[in-house]
Amino acid sequence: MGAVRVLSEADVRALVTPADARVAVEEGFRDLANGVSKMAPRITVPIPEAGGNIRMLPAVRVLAAPRRMPPPPAYVGVKIYTGYVGPAFKDMSKDRFTVLLYDYADGTLLAIIAARWLGAMRTGATSAVATRHMARPDARVLGIIGTGEQAETQVLNVATLMQPARVLAWSKDPDTARAAFAARLAAAGVTVESAESAEAVARAADVLCLATTSRQPVVQTAWVRPGTHVNAVGANLANRREVETSLVRAARVVVEFRPQALQEAGDLVVPIQAGEIGEDVIAAELGEVVTGAKPGRTAPDEITLFKSIGVAIEDVALAAWLYERALAQDIGQVVKL
């Protein structure tokens, strides 16, 4: 086997910006909708007795972005990560997330990429792509509920796109955690105001991002004004929810990948299983919106909801971009396997 480039978490952080991530992810969804790229839903295999699982997200023939002439190389990739119940999984410093990137032409392993920050950035970038195509052009106030790492990359990526006049944040976390969240974003050039409640954030926001691990809705439908765009990214398991059924019913709903959303998106799965809504509540997949095959918004006063759970095309499209940038700048460690 030939040389393999290994990119650490530090390498990934040094290489990628929110704008770069958005371009890579958007082109990934465009290729998916056009049939150039393929992917499968998340595969989960239990780890007996240890209370954990190993999960895989595979995608094939992902072309790196931005587009060039002649066309860039194509890639096959898979993100692999482990999850455990209890305190062990809370130590996010452990190396649990990895992307393996292969040459599409002959299957050669090209890169092993640490994927904790990659995963957080691709989730934020995907929300930025959805916001670009679904939010009103005059949206000026960005709201975030949650102050964890995923919330941080939601704000970084969506704010880079929107250039909002205000960013409002709230979470159930202690004041110290909220202050640390605001400080990290301030260091990245984004000023965040602390709101007094989730309701205050939702009522003020033109674009509302939800990044929590809640099992119950954190936003009431009555708080969401007509014309608001919502990115709901936290409920990525079938037993979690961030929004009420009435909001799902009232909104134009877009998902990344219908088969996976119907398995994992608790905001949709729970009310579908209860018979409160049907699968036809999903108006479009994000790739269809990116290509213009279906609209992301049909009226200025329409509420739009992007229900994100994280899919393979996001990880592998960004990994391909990172690999090409690392190759050009000779970043990372090259090893022989």
CATH number (domain holding residue 138): 3.40.50.720
Closest C-alpha to 98, from 316, 270, 303: 316
128 lies in some domain: no
- Predicted local confidence at residue 174, as pLDDT: 83
- Predicted local confidence at residue 69, as pLDDT: 67
At position 312, the amino acid (one-letter code) is: A
- Predicted local confidence at residue 300, as pLDDT: 97
146 lies in some domain: yes
Q: pLDDT under 50 in the chain at which residues? A: 92-93
54 lies in some domain: yes
Number of domains forming the structure of the chain = 2
Q: Are residues 157 and 227 in the same domain?
A: yes
CATH number (domain holding residue 88): 3.30.1780.10
- Predicted local confidence at residue 90, as pLDDT: 59
127 lies in some domain: no
- Predicted local confidence at residue 236, as pLDDT: 77
Give the model confidence (pLDDT) of 27-79 as tens digits: 999 999 999 999 999 999 998 877 788 999 999 988 876 676 666 789 999 99
291 lies in some domain: yes
When the pLDDT of each residue in the chain is averaged and rounded to a whole number, the result is 93
Helices (H) and strands (E) in the chain, counts: 12, 16
Burial class of 274 by CB neighbour count within 10 A (0 to 12, 13 to 18, 19+): exposed
Q: Are residues 158 and 299 in the same domain?
A: yes
Q: Are residues 75 and 204 in the same domain?
A: no
- Predicted local confidence at residue 93, as pLDDT: 46
Q: Are residues 221 and 114 in the same domain?
A: no
Q: Are residues 298 and 322 in the same domain?
A: no
Q: Are residues 281 and 143 in the same domain?
A: yes
Q: Are residues 191 and 292 in the same domain?
A: yes
Closest C-alpha to 164, from 223, 222, 229: 229
- Predicted local confidence at residue 309, as pLDDT: 95
Domain coverage including residue 41: 3-119+313-336
